[in-house]
């Protein structure tokens, strides 16, 4: 299971998670990590698109703690229904929702964590972060780290007996 922050403009319009530019990057990274997208349940911690209008454009606004907490019941229900073997938090908002507190992604990357119910979890960057990096070398380095993080989750799954 992959958990993002909230729907973006494209996702809100289409009604599916990760179908915009960040979703295309996610698909590419999943493929490079050897994870078929069709085998992953993808959702968001916050279920509504929080935005502000700038002319005719709807620009993303980060959800606050209250919004994250109010939507947690839906994420918990999804986890109960799906029963994922591993959960990957994509970004700080997803990690806060899953772990019940703010965490620093840079400090938690590359480590197997455990959710309160015992489900193994990983935390990594949100693919939208990659879209904001201007320097090509920095973007490539972060992208390779993202693929590596997803690969750790895949390797963890391959060691589990189902």
Q: Mean pLDDT in the chain?
A: 91
Residue 57 has pLDDT above 70, yes or no: yes
* CATH label, 2-159, candidates 1.10.10.60, 3.40.470.10, 3.30.70.890, 1.20.1260.10: 3.40.470.10
Residues above pLDDT 70, as percent of the chain: 94
User: What is the distance between the alpha carbons of residues 10 and 21, in angstroms, rounded to a whole number?
Assistant: 9
Helices (H) then strands (E): counts for the chain = 7, 7
Domain ranges, ordered by start, for the chain:
2-159
Average pLDDT over residues 2-12: 88
Going by pLDDT thresholds of 50, 70 and 90, the confidence category of residue 161 is very low
C-alpha of 27 from chain center:
12
């Amino acid at each position: 299971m992959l958990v993002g922050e909230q729907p973006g403009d494209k996702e809100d319009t289409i009604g599916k998670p990760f179908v915009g530019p960040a979703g295309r990057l996610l698909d590419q990274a999943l493929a490079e990590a050897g994870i078929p997208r069709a085998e992953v349940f993808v959702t968001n911690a916050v279920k509504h698109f929080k935005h502000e209008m700038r002319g005719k454009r709807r620009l993303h606004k980060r959800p606050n703690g209250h919004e994250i907490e109010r939507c947690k019941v839906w994420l918990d229900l999804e986890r109960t229904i799906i029963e994922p073997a591993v959960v990957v938090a994509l970004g700080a908002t997803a990690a806060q929702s899953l772990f019940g507190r703010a965490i620093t992604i840079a400090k938690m990357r590359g480590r197997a964590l455990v959710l309160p119910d015992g489900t193994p979890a990983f935390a990594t960057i949100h693919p939208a972060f990659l879209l904001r990096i201007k320097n090509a070398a920095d973007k490539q380095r972060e992208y390779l780290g993202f693929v590596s993080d997803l690969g750790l989750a895949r390797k963890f799954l391959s060691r589990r007996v189902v």
